Chain A
């Protein structure tokens, strides 16, 4: 199945931990995006703000922009208990595009990736194969997938394997 493409998207990433009540406004201001609700992601392909846990957000931005954004958050949050770090090198972001992209993921993740359970705007932190991963619909027939750098070769091969095996015909 040649229809599925898998490529790496160079990305800046900023980790922000804090109580959303205390840090949400600064995050929204610095990111220029709304603070996402539980399990949601706001923004678009260029810049997005993802809910990671009840006290953790992840800001996805253009490559090279993370250091500045992390510093901006630091400044904005002076005196507020938080943790803001440039973690751009820690993870790898893939874009997986193809007519049965949800099935490519459903072969690898126990999460419900049906359009009803995982519409655009939802982000899921789960696993793909044997590694942790987060993913969200980044367009029709397109998902963005984030995993740790050390296992990115594994995941790339796994995604390719899953796509090459062809569609299941379920979604």
Chain B
């Protein structure tokens, strides 16, 4: 059983005991503990269940690479699943819960016994569940959904806050071990702007545990003096608890700072997402120790040798009274010696190498520790806890020669540089045969926009496993005293001749339950590409991202394929390095700040007066104003009738307004529009259509000529920005020598439509401008003072009624609205929303961009040939509209539809044609584009596109009713209201 030793622990503050709970059990630790070390200190070795088989799992590692110890942290609004116990700093009152088991961690009914695992082999998704077909939905999927997944999602909205932070520096150094510190010292002394980040709460990395002598001091003292020097440098900034999660194009580095996870009561954001744009990213990310693949290497109590050392040195944790060390290298002997020095028993060091002659093994022998070269662990005994190991020959097939009782196993299969960030953005790796590791290939780095390297690697991450070499790589040549190490021997399967029974118990990927036998099976079944084998077996997927499993897995695959390891290659490392919180990604963008809402100057009034909203782009426009107990339909009916019978007000401020000015502005607009705006007289307005270069109708609106060289182009609400961009695109890229300037002044003006037979009376009572038919006829505009406000008054109509649109500077929009309400009170002036506007225009047969058009419609489809200047030599879309398909008389064309019995046709309904196509679907000959209940006519009205439509007036057609049946409708003129235009001209 693991336990806390009475003395030691370099990170512990024993004067500050802390209480916490694990699965409701009250436990104790100290300030400086991680949750992992505190649990071990309390003898809690079993921490979770595996993903697929629900096997009991304990801690394997001590840091970010931990695959098993994923727990839920916090409660209620502060609950977060899948947190690594090794990365969670202990704080008073911490609440942790284990995951992936039912009903309890100790007794999990979902645990798959060894007999059943044979039915869940690699690729079991693809094989088992194919047949019979109905079983997927009713048997397999519910089973997988029940058993898959790790933590449970939180049930409450997140109670914490988050933020982003953008920084630009010359150099960002990732990793606060001695290599990172040395690199920061080197760059800092050169005066570069440096940001140094470290994922844990502590500086110094492994060196402070492994304790080489650096520059005549202990590693601990050297780190302290390095930090002291760095703190004096104004150009060097340092952050702990900040993990670089991903390196992206152009050297954009994302880092995840856990600001207050260790101190939850602290005000401010819990996590901060750093978005770092650096000239150079230097990776001093160190290396990760590899497990060894022997049977039972997943039994709780089997840990990485370095992790055993970390727990012992940093947190005074004994993994058990008797720890067997198993290794293929000298480094693991440090663990044996550390255990020995702490007074713990190391019954044997099992070394797979036939000869063991290094300084560290010698030190172990001198300490009286038994060293067994050429040996292997054949099998670990124990289920929820290691009880012993069987020892045999590494070169053998698994025959046990000796049983050794023990409580823990410390394993080391060598080290792999943490190359994840290097690889995220395309950096390539090279295989280092001598050390059996992939390290970054400096000649093939991730590159930036000019082909320059955007990342470099230094220290251990660069394959320099020795302290002196790592420091030298980071730019500091220092005297280092540490034992020399003999070469390691690659060992991918232990023992090398193990048969299937053992291989089925050798875990490569603990988190995803992938075993040596699974990878070999994948190879046998033809998954020769490492990427295919990964997906077939789930090796290295999900949060692990191959930290522990990658090299062992591909080495086993290479062995099965009889190929060299570099020929097999690695799988792709993907961001994030370890998972980051969803909250940090959202940052401030939640609640009211989730997305900006564009507000017109009159928005507040709408809000206060019953507006029910319609989103239009990022604007919110009133769909209708609900009075009292009205529903939407009733309100729309009332609003339409008010406009038809008296007068209504529409907030049209959102309409796009683009000023176009210059000697070539007329010529330019003649190209942008299908008509000829250049021929509009000053003071007049004209309706215009804008097509894209493929001929499709993209926007429409009224163009007013403000002056000899100046036009004002109204666009749709959603079209303002992209029509302005469209104009600038053509001006800057194609007609760069034309003298034209444009400005999008949409937001400069508040605009209100005053529509209805009493519109003129309302404006006259405001006073200040002559708005009579003689002075301001239909399709003209004038500038002046209306009711004391500087105004442009446009005599235009989208309702079919006598109508004025009045524009005033936006900051006076509310004044205008109030003045119009007051002036119109005598006439029962009625604010109306977008739905009434839609109904009014549909009654009048006016088309609407986005209703009658969908990106495939040309003006000719909508019988808008009158708005095209046919004699014009060119306009955008002209030639496209002459293509055979565009000129085809069989294109569906605009008509009106009157349904039998006055019904309202369904939106988007098809007009059916006789017969069926090859798929058994009914032929179609048209579709409904707009459909409303018309209060004016007391029945449903609709606009539709229909083949040969205008030639088929009066014909009866069948329209789908959305329920498998049909509604009969008569083809009619889309213009139903005031065909002669007397009212809008009035």
Q: B-contacting residues of A (Cβ < 8 Å)?
A: 15, 17-18, 55, 81-83, 85-91, 103, 106-114, 117, 129-131, 148-151, 153-155, 157-158, 161-162, 165-166, 168, 170
25 A-B residue pairs with CB within 8 Å = A18-B741, A81-B662, A83-B661, A83-B662, A89-B809, A89-B810, A90-B810, A103-B165, A107-B166, A109-B166, A110-B277, A111-B166, A112-B277, A114-B168, A129-B588, A129-B593, A148-B598, A150-B599, A150-B619, A154-B593, A154-B597, A161-B588, A165-B161, A168-B272, A170-B237
**B 560-606 contacts with A by CB, 8 A:** 587-589, 592-593, 595-601
Q: Once the chains are docked, how many angstroms separate the CA of A131 from the CA of B619?
A: 13
Least Cβ–Cβ distance between B74 and chain A, in angstroms: 20
Is the pair A85, B659 in contact by a Cβ cutoff of 8 Å? yes
With CB as the reference atom, state the residue of chain A lying closest to B257: A168
Contacts of A170 in B (CB 8 A): 165, 167, 237
Is the pair B659, A83 in contact by a Cβ cutoff of 8 Å? yes
* A130 in contact with B167 given A87-B748, A89-B748 (CB within 8 Å): no
Partner of A149, one of B167, B272, B589, B747: B747
* A89 in contact with B811 given A81-B662, A130-B595 (CB within 8 Å): yes
* A83 in contact with B589 given A153-B599, A170-B165 (CB within 8 Å): no
| B267 contacts the other chain (CB 8 A) | yes
**5 additional A-B residue pairs with CB within 8 Å, beyond A157-B593, A170-B167:** A17-B743, A81-B663, A112-B168, A113-B166, A129-B588
Contacts of B741 in A (CB 8 A): 17-18, 55, 81-83
| B382 contacts the other chain (CB 8 A) | no
Least Cβ–Cβ distance between B885 and chain A, in angstroms: 39
**B 589-634 contacts with A by CB, 8 A:** 589, 592-593, 595-601, 618-619
| B739 contacts the other chain (CB 8 A) | yes
| B268 contacts the other chain (CB 8 A) | yes
Contacts of A17 in B (CB 8 A): 741, 743
Least Cβ–Cβ distance between B847 and chain A, in angstroms: 27
Contacts of A155 in B (CB 8 A): 596
Is the pair B663, A154 in contact by a Cβ cutoff of 8 Å? no
Closest 9 CB pairs of A and B: A150-B598, A83-B741, A154-B596, A89-B810, A112-B168, A90-B748, A89-B809, A17-B741, A89-B811
Least Cβ–Cβ distance between A147 and chain B, in angstroms: 10
Interface size class of B (residues with CB under 8 A): 35 or more
| B164 contacts the other chain (CB 8 A) | yes
| B825 contacts the other chain (CB 8 A) | no
Q: Once the chains are docked, how many angstroms separate the CA of A103 from the CA of B618?
A: 27
Q: Once the chains are docked, how many angstroms separate the CA of A166 from the CA of B272?
A: 12
Is the pair A130, B589 in contact by a Cβ cutoff of 8 Å? yes
Q: Once the chains are docked, how many angstroms separate the CA of A148 from the CA of B164?
A: 23
Q: Once the chains are docked, how many angstroms separate the CA of A38 from the CA of B173?
A: 33
| B666 contacts the other chain (CB 8 A) | no
Least Cβ–Cβ distance between A53 and chain B, in angstroms: 10
| B764 contacts the other chain (CB 8 A) | no
Q: Once the chains are docked, how many angstroms separate the CA of A161 from the CA of B599?
A: 20
Q: Once the chains are docked, how many angstroms separate the CA of A109 from the CA of B275?
A: 10
Least Cβ–Cβ distance between A80 and chain B, in angstroms: 10
Interface string of B658-671 (1 = CB under 8 A from A): 01011100000000
Q: Once the chains are docked, how many angstroms separate the CA of A84 from the CA of B929?
A: 42
**B 268-295 contacts with A by CB, 8 A:** 268-269, 272, 275, 277
With CB as the reference atom, state the residue of chain B lying closest to A158: B593
Contacts of A107 in B (CB 8 A): 163-166, 587-588
Give the one of B268, B600, B741, B809 with max A CB within 10 A: B741
Least Cβ–Cβ distance between B683 and chain A, in angstroms: 19
Contacts of B600 in A (CB 8 A): 150
Contacts of A81 in B (CB 8 A): 662-663, 739, 741
* A162 in contact with B588 given A89-B809, A149-B601, A168-B165 (CB within 8 Å): yes
Contacts of A161 in B (CB 8 A): 588, 593
Q: Once the chains are docked, how many angstroms separate the CA of A26 from the CA of B285?
A: 58
Is the pair B743, A165 in contact by a Cβ cutoff of 8 Å? no
Q: Once the chains are docked, how many angstroms separate the CA of A41 from the CA of B216?
A: 55
Least Cβ–Cβ distance between B656 and chain A, in angstroms: 12
Contacts of B593 in A (CB 8 A): 129, 154, 157-158, 161
Q: Once the chains are docked, how many angstroms separate the CA of A113 from the CA of B169?
A: 11
Q: Once the chains are docked, how many angstroms separate the CA of A150 from the CA of B811?
A: 11
Is the pair B747, A165 in contact by a Cβ cutoff of 8 Å? no
| B745 contacts the other chain (CB 8 A) | yes
With CB as the reference atom, state the residue of chain B lying closest to A168: B165
**B 162-189 contacts with A by CB, 8 A:** 163-168
Q: Once the chains are docked, how many angstroms separate the CA of A117 from the CA of B277?
A: 13
Contacts of A112 in B (CB 8 A): 166, 168, 277
Q: Once the chains are docked, how many angstroms separate the CA of A113 from the CA of B277?
A: 12
Q: Once the chains are docked, how many angstroms separate the CA of A165 from the CA of B257?
A: 15
Q: Once the chains are docked, how many angstroms separate the CA of A148 from the CA of B601?
A: 12
Interface string of B782-822 (1 = CB under 8 A from A): 00000000000000000000000000011110000000000
With CB as the reference atom, state the residue of chain A lying closest to B662: A81
Is the pair B747, A90 in contact by a Cβ cutoff of 8 Å? yes
With CB as the reference atom, state the residue of chain B lying closest to A166: B268
Is the pair A151, B598 in contact by a Cβ cutoff of 8 Å? yes
Q: Once the chains are docked, how many angstroms separate the CA of A81 from the CA of B663?
A: 7
Contacts of B749 in A (CB 8 A): 89
Contacts of A108 in B (CB 8 A): 164, 588
* A88 in contact with B809 given A83-B741, A129-B593, A170-B165 (CB within 8 Å): yes
Least Cβ–Cβ distance between B390 and chain A, in angstroms: 55
Contacts of A55 in B (CB 8 A): 741
* A150 in contact with B166 given A88-B811, A129-B589, A165-B269 (CB within 8 Å): no
Contacts of B269 in A (CB 8 A): 165
Is the pair A131, B596 in contact by a Cβ cutoff of 8 Å? yes
Is the pair A117, B596 in contact by a Cβ cutoff of 8 Å? no
* A83 in contact with B743 given A107-B163, A165-B269 (CB within 8 Å): yes
* A110 in contact with B596 given A17-B743, A83-B662 (CB within 8 Å): no
**B 718-745 contacts with A by CB, 8 A:** 739, 741-743, 745
Q: Once the chains are docked, how many angstroms separate the CA of A85 from the CA of B661?
A: 11
With CB as the reference atom, state the residue of chain B lying closest to A55: B741
Give the one of A18, A91, A168 with max B CB within 10 A: A168
Q: Once the chains are docked, how many angstroms separate the CA of A114 from the CA of B748?
A: 32
Contacts of A111 in B (CB 8 A): 166
Contacts of A117 in B (CB 8 A): 168
With CB as the reference atom, state the residue of chain B lying closest to A112: B168
With CB as the reference atom, state the residue of chain A lying closest to B810: A89
Q: Once the chains are docked, how many angstroms separate the CA of A151 from the CA of B748?
A: 13
Q: Once the chains are docked, how many angstroms separate the CA of A111 from the CA of B277?
A: 10
Contacts of A168 in B (CB 8 A): 165, 272
Least Cβ–Cβ distance between A13 and chain B, in angstroms: 9
Least Cβ–Cβ distance between A158 and chain B, in angstroms: 6
Contacts of A131 in B (CB 8 A): 596
**B 234-272 contacts with A by CB, 8 A:** 237, 267-269, 272
Q: Once the chains are docked, how many angstroms separate the CA of A87 from the CA of B661?
A: 15
Q: Once the chains are docked, how many angstroms separate the CA of A119 from the CA of B662?
A: 36
Is the pair A165, B268 in contact by a Cβ cutoff of 8 Å? yes
Is the pair A162, B163 in contact by a Cβ cutoff of 8 Å? yes
With CB as the reference atom, state the residue of chain B lying closest to A149: B747
Interface string of B32-45 (1 = CB under 8 A from A): 00000000000000
Least Cβ–Cβ distance between B708 and chain A, in angstroms: 12
Is the pair A110, B589 in contact by a Cβ cutoff of 8 Å? no
Least Cβ–Cβ distance between A110 and chain B, in angstroms: 5
Q: Once the chains are docked, how many angstroms separate the CA of A130 from the CA of B590?
A: 12
**B 800-853 contacts with A by CB, 8 A:** 809-812
Is the pair B165, A151 in contact by a Cβ cutoff of 8 Å? no
Contacts of B589 in A (CB 8 A): 129-130
Q: Once the chains are docked, how many angstroms separate the CA of A92 from the CA of B812?
A: 14
Q: Once the chains are docked, how many angstroms separate the CA of A106 from the CA of B166?
A: 5
Q: Once the chains are docked, how many angstroms separate the CA of A96 from the CA of B742?
A: 31
Q: Once the chains are docked, how many angstroms separate the CA of A131 from the CA of B597?
A: 10
* A157 in contact with B165 given A17-B743, A90-B810, A150-B619 (CB within 8 Å): no
Is the pair A90, B745 in contact by a Cβ cutoff of 8 Å? yes
